[in-house]
Amino acid sequence: MQNKKAGYLAAVSMSLIVGFSFYFSKIALSFASPLEVLAHRFTAAAVFSAVLLLLKVLPMKITREDFLKFLPFSIFYPILFFLLQIIGLTSVQSSLASIIQATTPFFTMILAALILKEKVDQKKIFFLLLSLSGILYISIHKGVSFQGSSVLGYAFLLFSSFSSAANFILVRKYARSLGHLKITVMAVFAGFIFFNAALIFQLGLRGSLDSYKMAFGSVRYLFPILFLGIPSTLFSSMLTNFSLTRIEASTMSVFHHLGTFVSIFAGVVLLKETLFFYEIIGSLLILLGVLGITVTGKNKR
């Protein structure tokens, strides 16, 4: 039971970090392109991970067998998840994108039932729909417009959500044999290599170096990148992967809906945004859905 509580605590902590990451992403994207932000945040995460490894704060040895087992992880997360998300966001408005990304728990629930043989009961489906309805309610009131030209963008975002769900299943299945910390570190270095290679390919060697000069020369840009790289990428992945060793994948994935609630709170407190009544109602629906799934899981045990 203590292990389960630790898993829920890790999931909630992850949601808090992810929620605040939207605030820092807005700041970072005002300075650089999405690909540059990704390359810089994974660079910060990789450098910090390397320091922890050198100081033996994270004592681990990655073998060839570990790397081969990890290959499916790197394809789904971080590569496909972030890459498809970036491409999709270029043609789909953010409010609609949040709805599409909120489908991740549904993909997770289906894959968990098929691959991990996790049981899906009616109560869990009800509370999942309740949580999703909160996101839908907020997004619709903010204004959602469907455009035929964005169909490809919708598809990219759906595949991004599916990639995230596939990663949850793989972590849940292999975390005990590989170790959640080892999976996290390998994912960080995979993202660092891929997104920096993509950035260099896009801008050319000289352009990439200028980009990094800008990134680490401006304090106003550096701080958001450090937050996105270390807490939002490294620590949130650690918490997610740890949580997946303690609670079901379908249950943990719903906690990502809490990120929407936290992002609204962060916008009101940090950006001085207006809190609308529909945001209060939507947030309550999200919280009730997440709490309902948590309580259902406890009663089942």
Reported as a single tens digit per residue, the pLDDT across 262-292 is 777 777 776 676 778 888 898 888 889 888 8
Per DSSP, the residues of the chain read -HHHHHHHHHHHHHHHHHHHHHHHHHHHHTTS-HHHHHHHHHHHHHHHHHHHHHTTSS-----HHHHHHHHHHHIIIIIIHHHHHHHHHTTS-HHHHHHHHTTHHHHHHHHIIIII-----HHHHHHHHHHHHHHHHHHHHH-----GGGHHHHHHHHHHHHHHHHHHHHHHHHHHHH-HHHHHHHHHHHHHHHHHHHHHHHHHHHHHHHHHHHHTT-HHHHHHHHHHHIIIIIIHHHHHHHHHTTS-HHHHHHGGGHHHHHHHHHHHHHS-----HHHHHHHHHHHHHHHHHHHHHHHH-
Q: Residue 156: which of 92, 220, 203, 246 has the closest Cα? A: 92
Q: What is the pLDDT of residue 42?
A: 95
Q: What is the pLDDT of residue 94?
A: 63
Region 246-258: mean pLDDT is 85
Q: What is the pLDDT of residue 16?
A: 87
Q: Would you place residue 24 in the very low, low, confident or very high pLDDT band (cuts 50, 70, 90)?
A: confident
Q: State yes or no: pLDDT of 142 exceeds 80.
A: no
Which two tokens mark 154?
């919708």
* Angle, helices 180-215/236-244, rounded to nearest 10 degrees: 160
Region 234-245: mean pLDDT is 93
Q: What is the pLDDT of residue 80?
A: 92
Kindly report, residue by residue over 148-198, the tens digit of the pLDDT.
Answer: 556 788 888 889 999 999 999 999 988 878 888 999 999 999 999 999 998
Region 113-135: mean pLDDT is 86
Q: Residue 240: which of 158, 292, 170 has the closest Cα? A: 170
Hey, how many other C-beta atoms are within 10 angstroms of the C-beta on 22? 18
Region 87-113: mean pLDDT is 80
Which two tokens mark 220?
């106003």
The per-residue pLDDT of the chain, averaged, comes to 83
Q: What is the pLDDT of residue 20?
A: 81
Kindly report, residue by residue over 45-79, the tens digit of the pLDDT.
Answer: 999 999 999 998 988 887 888 877 788 888 999 99
Region 124-147: mean pLDDT is 79
Q: Are 251 and 297 in contact (CB under 8 A)?
A: yes
Q: Would you place residue 236 in the very low, low, confident or very high pLDDT band (cuts 50, 70, 90)?
A: very high
Q: What is the pLDDT of residue 189?
A: 93
Q: State yes or no: pLDDT of 227 exceeds 90.
A: yes
